[in-house]
């Protein structure tokens, strides 16, 4: 590869290239003994060419403000501390700590830790982004979505942390779930109960749920291994959320919805390694050299209420909101990066369900809001907001913008799609879409009560493909993760599925790979990675 002009060290160049010889240098940080102070681990996120956001939380018996120190070093032993500082935290932010570090070198690996009351946290490893003009030729990321505590263990995170070849993790939403215990589990079985036991409604509830998730050792390991770039979907507040309400919120009985959103958003801002704008918006764009630009979307805060029938075609309905749509279109059409990636919480590709049988519509309806009458409708996805999708696809075509790839979560299943509309047909798709499965949340076979990979699941996948020719591959049962490998020539997603989400030590196996070549939006099947 071409070594960037910013002076990236050899270790980081190898990491960016994904070279096998870098394995020893990029292995995940060793698991540290549980700290009574730093019980929730460490994390980093939103890397820039000169900085990165660091996160932790302290557990203390003190009731007032406390001071937490941090260090950033060039080595894991901290023999060369490059920067250090202090952050004051307290009960007003649930004793969480964020240190937004600047003044670092671009495209460089660093180690960090936090100190409090005479002890140190576990060591985290992170990496700044290359400068916008750096000629990076390869980058690899883990892609995940939909991690339901009660439905299983987060083995997907463990397998990603153990790889040792990732530059970052992209999380597409549903980092946690709001349900009370037993309301959404593993096909009727609670693998491990949530805290609090009831549905999350208040600031204290959301803080407690975030805190529980952050005690998971596999989640901690992945957070400590690489920086994360995240966005939210609906379950960070409530199921099928829109700008003025949610399916899983009953006004009056569950309080004011705006107050619930404010509580959920405050807890999220406290507990997640993410930079939010001053007005609280989370959609943002991050650049990795000349190779790629990643636009992370918020498809909950500004959307119109889910609708049905011909209402989905109304020009006034939106899933993005006007400001975010303008921002997205401008970013995609003017970007000078080789690849334009979009972190897209819900599926953008069309899903025609009119010819599907009732037995398949039932579980699909639970996943994506399809009504039982089989209308051509996917009300909670982009299908429910046709005008926005037509505007996006039309703009890409008119501007001749190529090399756009949507990275999608939410639907709990695995898909490789070509983005088309009914007016454009399937001959010339506008973009590719790769949809990753859930980490643990229920999918088709869980709703049907059948074994994974059974005859009904195989039939379901074949029916979905037959009804939707732009869907090149779909797998309806697996839980796991994706690994996106980006080079200047192609963008490839590989899907990995877990053997058993209910077992912490479960294995994972490669199941499929699909890629899109530079200059084309047609996707093709790949053989297993060597």
Query: Within this chain, do residues 450 and 393 fall inside the same structural domain, yes or no?
Result: yes
pLDDT, tens digit (0-9, with 9 covering 90-100), for 405-459: 999 999 999 999 999 987 666 778 999 999 999 999 998 888 778 778 888 888 8
530: Cα separation from own chain's centroid: 26
Judge whether 23 lies within some domain.
no
Same domain, yes or no: 63 and 183: no
DSSP secondary structure code for residue 325 in this structure:
H
What single DSSP character describes residue 3?
A: P
| Backbone dihedral region for residue 62 (phi beyond 0: left; psi -120 to 50: alpha; all else: beta) | beta
Does 85 lie in the same domain as 172? no
Domain-terminating residue out of 127, 159, 174: 127
Domain end marker among 105, 127, 149: 127
Same domain, 158 and 202: yes
User: Beta strands 523-526 and 508-517: pairing type?
Assistant: antiparallel
Domain span including residue 404: 138-526
Q: What's the pLDDT at 427?
A: 77
Which residues have a Cβ under 8 Å from the Cβ of 313 and sit 6 or more positions away? Answer: 386, 387
Q: What is the spatial distance between Cα 485 and Cα 94, in angstroms, rounded to a whole number? A: 37
User: Do residues 94 and 116 share a domain?
Assistant: yes
Q: Per the domain annotation, does 2 fall within a domain?
A: no
Same domain, 332 and 430: yes
The whole-angstrom separation of Cα 407 and Cα 383 is 17
What CATH number does the domain containing 63 carry?
Answer: 2.60.40.380
Looking at the fold, whether 230 and 86 belong to one and the same domain comes out as no
Indicate if 177 and 236 belong to the same structural domain.
Answer: yes
Copy the structure tokens of residue 445: 């076979």
Predicted confidence at residue 354, as pLDDT, reads: 66
Task: Give the integer Cα–Cα distance in Å for 403 and 517.
Answer: 8
Q: Which residue has the tokens 């051509």?
A: 376
Q: What is the pLDDT of residue 32?
A: 45
What is the distance between the alpha carbons of residues 498 and 439, in angstroms, rounded to a whole number? 9
86, 101, 127 — which closes off a domain?
127
- Judge whether 22 lies within some domain: no
Q: Which two tokens stand for residue 32?
A: 């540290």
**For residue 364, what pLDDT is reported?**
67
| 133 part of a folded domain | no
Instruction: Say if CB 60 and CB 36 are below 8 A apart.
Output: no
For the chain, report the end-to-end CA distance as a whole number of angstroms. Answer: 20
Cα–Cα dist 445/460, whole Å: 10
| Number of domains within the chain | 2
Q: Which helix (H) or strand (E) holds 508?
A: strand 508-517
Our separate counts of H helices and E strands in the chain read 11, 24
Same domain, 113 and 149: no
Same domain, 454 and 494: yes
Question: Nearest CA to 332 among 317, 316, 348, 355?
Answer: 348
Give the per-residue pLDDT at 362.
67
Whether residues 53 and 161 fall in one domain: no
The pLDDT, as a whole number, for residue 33 is 46
Assess if residue 1 is contained within a domain. no
Q: Are residues 264 and 390 both part of a single domain?
A: yes
pLDDT less than 70: residues of the chain? 1-34, 354-362, 364-366, 368-378, 423-425
| Position 202 in a domain | yes
Structural element, H or E, at residue 446 = helix 444-448
What is the widest separation between alpha-carbon atoms in the chain? 65
Report pLDDT for 451: 79
Would residue 378 count as lying in a domain?
yes
101, two tokens: 């570090």
Run of H or E residues at 448: helix 444-448
156 inside domain = yes
Helix (H) or strand (E) holding 323: helix 322-334
Predicted pLDDT at 68: 98
Taking the C-alpha atoms of residue 121 and residue 123, their distance in angstroms, rounded to an integer, is 6
Of 428, 57, 111, 516, residue with least CA distance to 270 = 57
CATH, residue 184: 3.60.21.70
């Amino acid at each position: 590869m071409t070594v960037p002009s910013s002076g990236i060290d050899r270790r980081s160049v190898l990491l960016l290239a994904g070279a096998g010889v870098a394995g020893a240098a990029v292995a995940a940080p060793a698991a540290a003994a549980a700290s009574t102070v730093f019980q929730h681990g460490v994390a980093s996120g939103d890397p820039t060419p000169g900085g990165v956001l660091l996160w932790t939380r302290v557990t203390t018996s003190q009731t007032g403000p406390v001071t937490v120190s941090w260090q950033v070093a060039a080595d894991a032993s901290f023999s060369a501390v490059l920067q250090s500082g202090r952050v004051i935290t307290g009960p007003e932010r649930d004793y969480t700590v964020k240190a937004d570090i600047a003044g670092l070198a671009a495209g460089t690996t660093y180690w960090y830790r936090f100190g409090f009351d005479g002890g140190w946290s576990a060591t985290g490893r992170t990496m700044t982004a290359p400068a916008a003009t750096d000629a990076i030729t390869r980058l690899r990321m883990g892609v995940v979505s939909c991690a339901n505590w009660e439905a299983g263990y987060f083995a997907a995170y463990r397998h990603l942390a153990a790889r040792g070849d990732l530059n970052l993790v992209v999380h597409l939403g549903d980092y946690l779930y709001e349900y009370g215990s037993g309301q959404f589990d593993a096909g009727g079985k609670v693998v491990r109960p949530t805290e609090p036991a009831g549905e999350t409604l208040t600031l204290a509830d959301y803080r407690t749920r975030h805190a529980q998730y952050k005690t998971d050792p596999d989640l901690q390991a992945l957070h400590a291994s690489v920086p994360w770039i995240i966005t939210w979907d609906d379950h960070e507040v409530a199921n099928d959320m829109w700008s003025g309400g949610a399916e899983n919120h009953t006004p009056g009985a569950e309080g004011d919805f705006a107050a619930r959103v404010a509580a959920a958003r405050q807890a999220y801002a406290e507990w997640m390694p993410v930079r939010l704008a001053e007005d609280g918006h989370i959609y943002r764009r991050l650049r990795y050299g000349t190779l790629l630009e990643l636009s992370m979307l918020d498809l909950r805060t500004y959307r119109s209420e889910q609708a049905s029938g011909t209402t989905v075609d109304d020009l006034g309905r939106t899933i993005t909101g006007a400001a975010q749509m303008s921002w997205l279109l401008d970013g995609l059409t003017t970007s000078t990066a080789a690849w334009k990636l979009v972190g897209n919480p819900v599926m953008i590709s069309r899903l025609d369900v009119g010819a599907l049988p009732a037995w398949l519509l039932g579980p699909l309806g639970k996943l994506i809001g399809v009504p039982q009458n089989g209308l051509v409708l996917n009300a909670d996805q982009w299908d429910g907001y046709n005008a926005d999708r037509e505007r996006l696809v039309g703009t890409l075509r008119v501007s001749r913008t190529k090399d756009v790839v949507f990275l999608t979560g939410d639907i709990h299943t695995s898909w490789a799609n070509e983005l088309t509309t009914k007016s454009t047909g399937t001959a010339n798709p506008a973009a590719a879409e790769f949809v990753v499965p859930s980490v643990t949340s229920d999918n088709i076979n869980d709703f049907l009560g059948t074994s994974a990979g059974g005859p009904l699941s195989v039939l379901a996948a074949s029916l979905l493909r037959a009804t939707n020719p732009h869907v090149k591959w779909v797998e309806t049962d697996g839980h796991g993760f994706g690994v996106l490998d980006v080079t200047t020539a192609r963008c490839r997603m590989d899907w990995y599925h877990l053997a058993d989400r209910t077992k912490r030590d479960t294995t994972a196996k490669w199941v499929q790979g699909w890629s899109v070549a530079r200059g084309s939006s047609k996707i093709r099947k790949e053989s297993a990675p060597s």
